Structure 1
Amino acid sequence: MSSESAVNIPAEMIHYGMTKTAQIAIARGLAETTAGTEITVNSILAGPTLSEGVEEFVSQMAASQGKDIATVEKEFFQTLRPSSLLQRFATPEEVANLVTYVASPLSRATNGAPLRVEGGIIRAAI
Protein backbone atom coordinates (compact mmCIF):
# COMPACT_ATOMS: atom_id res chain seq x y z
CA MET A 1 0.00 0.00 0.00
CA SER A 2 1.39 3.31 -1.08
CA SER A 3 -0.37 6.62 -1.57
CA GLU A 4 -1.05 9.33 -4.11
CA SER A 5 1.32 11.32 -1.90
CA ALA A 6 4.15 9.39 -3.54
CA VAL A 7 3.45 11.35 -6.72
CA ASN A 8 1.90 14.54 -5.30
CA ILE A 9 4.11 15.02 -2.28
CA PRO A 10 2.21 17.30 0.13
CA ALA A 11 4.25 20.24 1.41
CA GLU A 12 2.99 19.55 4.92
CA MET A 13 4.02 15.86 4.77
CA ILE A 14 7.29 15.61 2.83
CA HIS A 15 8.47 12.75 5.05
CA TYR A 16 5.31 10.77 4.30
CA GLY A 17 5.53 11.37 0.55
CA MET A 18 9.17 10.26 0.51
CA THR A 19 8.35 6.95 2.19
CA LYS A 20 5.45 6.30 -0.18
CA THR A 21 7.69 6.98 -3.19
CA ALA A 22 10.21 4.51 -1.80
CA GLN A 23 7.48 1.87 -1.50
CA ILE A 24 6.71 2.18 -5.21
CA ALA A 25 10.41 1.80 -6.08
CA ILE A 26 10.75 -1.27 -3.88
CA ALA A 27 7.63 -2.87 -5.36
CA ARG A 28 8.88 -2.28 -8.90
CA GLY A 29 12.30 -3.72 -8.01
CA LEU A 30 10.71 -6.80 -6.46
CA ALA A 31 8.50 -7.25 -9.52
CA GLU A 32 11.60 -7.21 -11.71
CA THR A 33 13.33 -9.67 -9.39
CA THR A 34 10.45 -12.11 -9.78
CA ALA A 35 10.08 -11.69 -13.56
CA GLY A 36 8.93 -14.81 -15.34
CA THR A 37 7.34 -16.31 -12.24
CA GLU A 38 3.74 -16.40 -11.08
CA ILE A 39 4.58 -13.75 -8.47
CA THR A 40 3.25 -10.24 -9.03
CA VAL A 41 4.18 -7.14 -7.05
CA ASN A 42 2.26 -3.90 -7.43
CA SER A 43 1.65 -0.71 -5.51
CA ILE A 44 -1.75 0.71 -4.67
CA LEU A 45 -1.81 4.49 -4.58
CA ALA A 46 -4.72 5.28 -2.31
CA GLY A 47 -5.94 8.82 -1.96
CA PRO A 48 -7.48 10.43 1.09
CA THR A 49 -9.59 7.69 2.62
CA LEU A 50 -12.15 7.96 5.39
CA SER A 51 -10.50 5.41 7.65
CA GLU A 52 -11.35 5.32 11.35
CA GLY A 53 -8.37 7.55 12.14
CA VAL A 54 -9.22 10.11 9.47
CA GLU A 55 -12.87 10.10 10.50
CA GLU A 56 -11.88 10.78 14.12
CA PHE A 57 -9.45 13.55 13.07
CA VAL A 58 -12.06 15.24 10.87
CA SER A 59 -14.67 14.99 13.63
CA GLN A 60 -12.29 16.59 16.14
CA MET A 61 -11.38 19.32 13.67
CA ALA A 62 -15.05 20.03 12.97
CA ALA A 63 -15.83 20.24 16.70
CA SER A 64 -12.86 22.54 17.39
CA GLN A 65 -13.85 24.85 14.53
CA GLY A 66 -17.58 24.80 15.27
CA LYS A 67 -18.32 23.33 11.84
CA ASP A 68 -20.05 20.19 10.66
CA ILE A 69 -18.05 17.29 9.24
CA ALA A 70 -19.31 17.85 5.67
CA THR A 71 -18.02 21.43 5.72
CA VAL A 72 -14.59 20.39 6.99
CA GLU A 73 -14.36 17.69 4.29
CA LYS A 74 -15.39 20.16 1.58
CA GLU A 75 -12.84 22.71 2.77
CA PHE A 76 -10.11 20.06 2.91
CA PHE A 77 -10.59 19.22 -0.75
CA GLN A 78 -10.96 22.85 -1.80
CA THR A 79 -7.78 23.98 -0.07
CA LEU A 80 -5.43 21.01 0.36
CA ARG A 81 -6.45 18.65 -2.47
CA PRO A 82 -8.12 20.87 -5.09
CA SER A 83 -7.13 18.59 -7.98
CA SER A 84 -9.35 15.80 -6.61
CA LEU A 85 -11.99 14.84 -9.11
CA LEU A 86 -13.88 12.90 -6.44
CA GLN A 87 -13.96 15.90 -4.06
CA ARG A 88 -14.60 13.62 -1.08
CA PHE A 89 -12.81 10.99 0.94
CA ALA A 90 -12.79 7.53 -0.59
CA THR A 91 -14.39 4.86 1.52
CA PRO A 92 -12.27 1.99 2.83
CA GLU A 93 -14.50 -0.31 0.76
CA GLU A 94 -13.63 1.56 -2.45
CA VAL A 95 -9.93 1.09 -1.76
CA ALA A 96 -10.50 -2.54 -0.75
CA ASN A 97 -12.12 -3.21 -4.14
CA LEU A 98 -8.81 -2.51 -5.89
CA VAL A 99 -6.89 -4.51 -3.28
CA THR A 100 -9.23 -7.45 -3.87
CA TYR A 101 -8.61 -7.30 -7.62
CA VAL A 102 -4.83 -7.09 -7.22
CA ALA A 103 -4.82 -10.03 -4.79
CA SER A 104 -6.93 -12.16 -7.12
CA PRO A 105 -5.95 -14.32 -10.09
CA LEU A 106 -7.74 -11.78 -12.31
CA SER A 107 -4.71 -9.50 -12.02
CA ARG A 108 -2.05 -12.02 -13.14
CA ALA A 109 -0.93 -9.77 -16.01
CA THR A 110 -0.72 -6.69 -13.77
CA ASN A 111 2.83 -6.55 -12.46
CA GLY A 112 5.22 -3.83 -11.34
CA ALA A 113 2.50 -1.22 -11.56
CA PRO A 114 1.46 1.66 -9.35
CA LEU A 115 -2.33 1.35 -9.39
CA ARG A 116 -4.39 4.40 -8.53
CA VAL A 117 -7.49 4.58 -6.35
CA GLU A 118 -7.02 8.22 -5.42
CA GLY A 119 -10.05 10.03 -6.76
CA GLY A 120 -8.19 11.84 -9.54
CA ILE A 121 -5.87 13.89 -7.31
CA ILE A 122 -2.88 13.01 -9.48
CA ARG A 123 -3.08 15.39 -12.44
CA ALA A 124 -1.78 13.00 -15.08
CA ALA A 125 -3.52 10.78 -17.57
CA ILE A 126 -0.96 8.01 -17.08
Structure 2
Amino acid sequence: MNPPCARCGKIVYPTEKISCLEKNWHKGCFHCEVCKMTLNMKNYKGYEKKPYCSAHYPKTSFTIVTDTPENLRLKQQSELQSQVKYKRDFEESKGRGFSIVSDTPELQRLRKTQEHISNV
Protein backbone atom coordinates (compact mmCIF):
# COMPACT_ATOMS: atom_id res chain seq x y z
CA MET A 1 0.00 0.00 0.00
CA ASN A 2 1.31 3.46 -0.90
CA PRO A 3 1.66 6.03 1.92
CA PRO A 4 0.05 9.49 1.95
CA CYS A 5 2.06 12.66 1.32
CA ALA A 6 3.01 14.61 4.44
CA ARG A 7 2.08 17.91 2.76
CA CYS A 8 -1.05 17.30 0.67
CA GLY A 9 -2.28 13.99 2.07
CA LYS A 10 -2.67 12.32 -1.35
CA ILE A 11 -1.16 8.94 -2.18
CA VAL A 12 2.55 9.00 -3.02
CA TYR A 13 3.55 6.53 -5.73
CA PRO A 14 7.08 5.09 -5.77
CA THR A 15 8.16 7.05 -8.88
CA GLU A 16 7.52 10.42 -7.25
CA LYS A 17 8.29 9.55 -3.62
CA ILE A 18 10.83 11.30 -1.39
CA SER A 19 11.28 9.67 2.01
CA CYS A 20 12.74 12.20 4.38
CA LEU A 21 12.27 13.49 7.94
CA GLU A 22 10.48 10.24 8.79
CA LYS A 23 7.71 11.12 6.30
CA ASN A 24 6.89 10.56 2.63
CA TRP A 25 6.51 13.45 0.21
CA HIS A 26 5.70 14.12 -3.45
CA LYS A 27 8.70 15.72 -5.17
CA GLY A 28 6.65 18.89 -5.72
CA CYS A 29 5.36 18.93 -2.14
CA PHE A 30 8.84 18.74 -0.62
CA HIS A 31 9.44 22.51 -0.38
CA CYS A 32 10.51 25.09 2.17
CA GLU A 33 7.91 25.90 4.82
CA VAL A 34 8.54 29.63 4.40
CA CYS A 35 9.37 30.47 0.78
CA LYS A 36 7.97 27.35 -0.93
CA MET A 37 11.22 26.74 -2.83
CA THR A 38 11.32 23.15 -4.09
CA LEU A 39 13.94 21.17 -2.21
CA ASN A 40 15.78 17.91 -2.77
CA MET A 41 17.80 15.54 -0.63
CA LYS A 42 20.97 17.62 -1.07
CA ASN A 43 19.76 21.12 -0.18
CA TYR A 44 17.11 20.71 2.52
CA LYS A 45 17.51 21.30 6.25
CA GLY A 46 15.08 19.66 8.63
CA TYR A 47 13.75 21.30 11.77
CA GLU A 48 11.02 19.67 13.89
CA LYS A 49 10.37 17.25 11.00
CA LYS A 50 9.64 20.08 8.53
CA PRO A 51 11.82 20.96 5.51
CA TYR A 52 13.48 24.36 5.18
CA CYS A 53 15.93 25.93 2.75
CA SER A 54 19.24 27.25 4.08
CA ALA A 55 18.02 30.84 4.14
CA HIS A 56 14.90 30.12 6.21
CA TYR A 57 16.24 27.46 8.55
CA PRO A 58 15.20 28.54 12.08
CA LYS A 59 18.05 29.86 14.15
CA THR A 60 18.50 28.02 17.41
CA SER A 61 19.43 30.19 20.35
CA PHE A 62 20.88 28.75 23.50
CA THR A 63 19.20 29.69 26.74
CA ILE A 64 21.45 27.98 29.28
CA VAL A 65 24.98 29.19 29.84
CA THR A 66 27.14 26.30 30.93
CA ASP A 67 30.43 26.49 32.73
CA THR A 68 32.62 25.67 29.78
CA PRO A 69 36.33 26.47 30.10
CA GLU A 70 35.90 29.41 27.73
CA ASN A 71 32.97 30.85 29.70
CA LEU A 72 34.89 30.45 32.97
CA ARG A 73 37.88 32.24 31.43
CA LEU A 74 35.68 35.10 30.21
CA LYS A 75 34.03 35.39 33.61
CA GLN A 76 37.40 35.54 35.33
CA GLN A 77 38.69 38.11 32.85
CA SER A 78 35.64 40.33 33.31
CA GLU A 79 36.06 40.12 37.10
CA LEU A 80 39.68 41.18 36.74
CA GLN A 81 38.69 44.16 34.61
CA SER A 82 35.84 45.10 36.92
CA GLN A 83 36.36 48.09 39.19
CA VAL A 84 34.18 46.41 41.83
CA LYS A 85 36.93 43.98 42.80
CA TYR A 86 39.53 46.74 43.03
CA LYS A 87 37.20 48.88 45.13
CA ARG A 88 36.47 45.96 47.47
CA ASP A 89 40.17 45.18 47.85
CA PHE A 90 40.91 48.86 48.50
CA GLU A 91 38.19 49.09 51.15
CA GLU A 92 39.51 45.95 52.87
CA SER A 93 43.08 47.24 52.90
CA LYS A 94 42.18 50.65 54.38
CA GLY A 95 43.76 51.24 57.74
CA ARG A 96 46.00 48.19 57.57
CA GLY A 97 48.99 50.13 56.45
CA PHE A 98 51.15 49.03 53.61
CA SER A 99 54.50 47.51 53.00
CA ILE A 100 57.10 48.74 50.57
CA VAL A 101 59.03 46.25 48.54
CA SER A 102 62.16 48.03 47.43
CA ASP A 103 64.03 45.44 45.40
CA THR A 104 61.60 43.92 42.95
CA PRO A 105 63.07 43.05 39.55
CA GLU A 106 60.90 45.72 37.96
CA LEU A 107 62.13 48.43 40.33
CA GLN A 108 65.76 47.36 39.79
CA ARG A 109 65.28 47.60 36.04
CA LEU A 110 63.73 51.07 36.38
CA ARG A 111 66.60 52.30 38.56
CA LYS A 112 69.18 51.06 36.06
CA THR A 113 67.29 52.71 33.22
CA GLN A 114 67.07 56.02 35.12
CA GLU A 115 70.78 55.90 35.99
CA HIS A 116 71.65 55.19 32.38
CA ILE A 117 69.50 58.08 31.14
CA SER A 118 70.90 60.50 33.72
CA ASN A 119 74.48 59.52 32.81
CA VAL A 120 73.84 60.26 29.14
TM-score, length of structure 2 as denominator length: 0.18
Query: Relative contact order (C-alpha < 8 Å, sep 6+): which is higher?
Result: 1
Select the structure that is richer in helix. 1
Which structure would you say has the larger Rg? 2
TM-score, length of structure 1 as denominator length: 0.18
